[in-house]
Structure formats: structure tokens, C-alpha cells
Amino acid sequence: MNYQIQRGTYDAYGDDAMNMKKIEETLSAIALTYGYVPIHIPTYEQTELFTRSVGESSDIVNKEMFSFVDKGGRNISLRPEMTAGVMRAIVTNKLYAQDLPLKFFYCGNVFRYERPQAGRYREFTQFGVECVGVSSYYLDAEAIMLGYNSLLMLGFPKVILKINTIGDSLSRENYKAALKEYFKPYKNTMCEDCQRRYDTNVLRILDCKSEEDQKIIANAPKIENYLTDSAKEYFQKIIKILDECQIEYEIDPNLVRGLDYYSQVVFEYHFVSDQGVNLGALGGGGHYDNLLHDVGGPSLSSVGLAFGLERINTLLKEIDPDCYEKTTVDIFVVHMGNETIEHAFYLASSLRNEGFTVDLTYENKNIGAQLKLATRKKASFALIVGENEIKEHTYGVKNLLTQEQVNVAYEDLVDYFDEHLMEEHHEG
């Protein structure tokens, strides 16, 4: 049988897999500098966890979840996002009893049954952070800056931060009432999703992508006219911090994000190509107050953000195909076949124990073929092992970039490679 890859999934290998690993490592390293620590959570949870936390009016719950009934008759869903699982883990393990705030970062596969697009898949990798337990505009600003600086560090030449406030609970109730009044005459002419959102969460109409509906949305009431004084002040303090830290931003009054649990500040990171085309959101997040309580914990404020790694990887490769290191080998051991392969094997093992990346072939290839293989593997050096080299404990070392070759004694190999590989990496 010829097995086909499933629609909306992909295989990553070689340089592409290295790129994904590099993105994750970079984001993790930056999160650590902000005081976040890693958390790992299950790939699947009770379906109700997501319907309760993400919100039944969201597209994720309505259209995109991979759900099933397990052998015990339980309703289970593959996680469509990670925040709900982190909140559940905090409640399950009573982590809220520790020093607050809790600051976690995560990276793992999530699943959404949506139409596959460039850099967007039905199974994809999500990196995110969650800061839980303390309500502070400083923490909100810190999370926004973490995401912004992370994208610059990854190699995006210019990041556009879009930001908005959807206010506190009183602000949102007043605003929802105004939106319902405004959209009421248009309800039956709008798309099916907007008609549903009118009854479930009218705020979500603002997120509609339909061109016809966007014409109606353009004249809708703006949240700024319905904010309480405290909500206005909270948002302005975040804006002030961003100004003082020279973080560029655009206030987008229609930005509401796709999840129902957000309150106060919400934000997205966009990238515009050299041709001036907005390539869409790279990621985003926001503040939320009631999510931990909704899944059985105490009422604690939180802020979080998330990125899709595949989308970041796709766009970075378009910006600069050489932005990441390629899969390379420090040393490729070249041997003379059956007479020397055993020695070559143990020599390679010894060098690996010293921290070098080392490869060799176990086929009986001639020296020329092995050197070509070493070049294809982007090896820096070839270490030549013949019978005379074994007897004299001295080996030929060939620089595959310059083609220069020198003889190096066995006891000097580690120092030689340490010095010359460091020079090569520095020059690169």
C-alpha cells in the first residue's frame, strides 16, 4: 500500500528541521532571560476544558477541534492551543500556592482542522509563554516586549506590533450592547459566522475577514468610547512603557483576537514584506483575568502570547534563505576500507566524546568518493586514516574549504580541531 501524508501535515528533515530547532532554542533562551521556566503538558485533554476556556463562540471550538470519544466513553480533544492545558496543570498541581507570578514557557504540537495555507498546518508547533498570578501593566508590557524582541532576534528586519484594549468586564458589556445595536439591521445580510457570533459573542464580528462584512464593520462603534476610566488608564500605562522602551506599535481598534477569554490588552505581531505586503500575524496574545477560575482555580490575572513556529520558519526562509546554519559535520573520517575501518570507528567515537560532530561511511568507497561525500555533508575537515597513519599515530587532516592538508599527531588532534574549528566558526 502506498501511504500518503495527511492533508495539513508535513515532514521536516535536514536543514528545515534544523531551522525549526534553532527557532525553538532561540525563543526558549529569550524566555529564560525574562524569568520563564519550561512546562510540559499532555497532547490531549477533556473536550470540555477547551469549550469552557477557549469559548464556544470561537472558531477553534466551532470548526477546528480534533475530538473523539475514547474507549472509556470520555470526550477527548487534541489540544488546539496550549494556554488551557497550562491553566489545567496549574490547578491540578496546585501551583497557585507557590510564589506568584508563575512564569512558564512551552513548545509543542497543536491541532486545528482548518484550511491549510502557506506556513499554516492542521498539526503545527506552538511556542508560548504564560505569566499567571499577578495583575500588572508592567507584566503585560513585559510579555509584549518579550514577543517583539524575540522576532527581531530571530531575524525579522521589522516587526509591526498591533495593539488594542477590549477593556475590563464593564467596558466590554457596554461595548457589546453598542455593537449589538449597530449590527442588528445588518445581521441577516452578513456571513454565516457573523450571524452566529452576533448571538454568542458579538465582539468576534470585528475579527471577520469577509470583504463585504468589513465594509459594515468599518463604521461600527469603537471600543475607546466605551472604556471605563480604569480600563483607559491601564491601557495608557502599557502604551507609555512601550513608548519609553522605543517599541513601535499601531493601535488597531478592531483587534479582538480569536479566543473568548481575553480582557484588557490584546496584541499581534505582523510582518510586512519589502513590497509592502502585510503577510499576516506571526503570533499574538493578551491579558486574561478569569481563565484560571473557569477551569477550577482561584481568580488570578494572567498574560500570555504564542507563535506558530512553522509560519515563522516559512517567512524567515523567504527573507533570507541562509539565515540559519545548515546541517554540517566538523570532521569526516576517511578510511581505506576493511583494513582501517575498525580504527576509524574508534577514532570517530573518541572525537565525538570530545564534543565534535563526526561522521564516516561504513561502505567500501575509495578515498575520492569519501571526500566527495564529506563535501556533500558540508564537513569542515577530512581526517584520513590509512595503515601508515595508524602505525605512525599521525593523520592527514584536510581542510575541505581551502583544500590544504597537514599531518597531525594523534595526541594533538583535539587541540588542532578546537583551534581551527573555532577560527572557522568565527570567520563564518
Domain ranges of the chain: 14-168+228-319, 329-422
Provide the CATH number for the domain formed by 329-422 in this structure: 3.40.50.800
Which residue type does 166 have? I
Average pLDDT, the chain: 90
Residue partners of 275: CB distance under 8 A and separation at least 6 = none
Give residue for cell 525563543. 27
Give residue 426's pLDDT.
45
Residue 410 has pLDDT above 90, yes or no: yes
Give residue 196's pLDDT.
85
Topology agreement, domain 14-168+228-319 and domain 329-422: no
Cell of 137: 501593566
Give residue 322's pLDDT.
72
Look at residues 149, 113, 108, 114 and name the one whose alpha carbon lies nearest to residue 20. 108
Residue 129 has pLDDT above 90, yes or no: yes
423 — alpha (psi -120 to 50), left (phi > 0) or beta?
Answer: alpha
Residue partners of 302: CB distance under 8 A and separation at least 6 = 87, 130, 131, 132, 133, 287, 288, 289, 291, 292
Give this prediction's pTM. 0.86
CA 291-295-299 angle, 5° bins: 50
Q: Which fold has domain 14-168+228-319?
A: BirA Bifunctional Protein; domain 2 (3.30.930)
Residue 232 has pLDDT above 60, yes or no: yes
Cell of 243: 513608548
Residue 425 has pLDDT above 80, yes or no: no
